[in-house]
Amino acid sequence: MTVQVTNQPKRKSVGSAWLGVLTTLLIFVASFAFFLIAPIAMLLGALLVHTVMTAKQKAKSGGGGGGSAAGSGSGSGFGAGAQ
């Protein structure tokens, strides 16, 4: 009884190789979206919430509807030194 052992390298088919490439690209795109696009989306969402909350706060406090002069603001906040 003889046992024949050969060490032939296993080869992938063309379809299997393309599936591996596409899977790798899909993982890359998913990680790219998670680490780069998601933080930008969160920052834009926070900016939107801040803008809405600021507008609601100004509307609740009167919003400067009674001031007749351009410099009648309270003189505080961002850019107050330019008045």
pLDDT in tens, 26-60: 999 999 888 888 899 999 999 999 999 999 888 88
Has residue 54 been placed in a domain?
A: yes
Residue 73 token pair: 């603001």
Question: Pick from 80, 62, 61, 58: which is nearest to 71 by CA?
Answer: 80
Has residue 21 been placed in a domain?
A: no
Number of structural domains in the chain:
1
Has residue 79 been placed in a domain?
A: no
Has residue 50 been placed in a domain?
A: yes
Has residue 37 been placed in a domain?
A: yes
Has residue 3 been placed in a domain?
A: no
Has residue 38 been placed in a domain?
A: yes
According to the model, what pLDDT value does residue 6 have? 76
User: What is the pTM for the complete model shown?
Assistant: 0.43
Show the domain range for 45.
33-59
Question: Pick from 58, 50, 52, 60: which is nearest to 74 by CA?
Answer: 58
Cα–Cα dist 2/55, whole Å: 87
Cα–Cα dist 43/36, whole Å: 11
Query: Which is higher by pLDDT, 26 or 64?
Result: 26
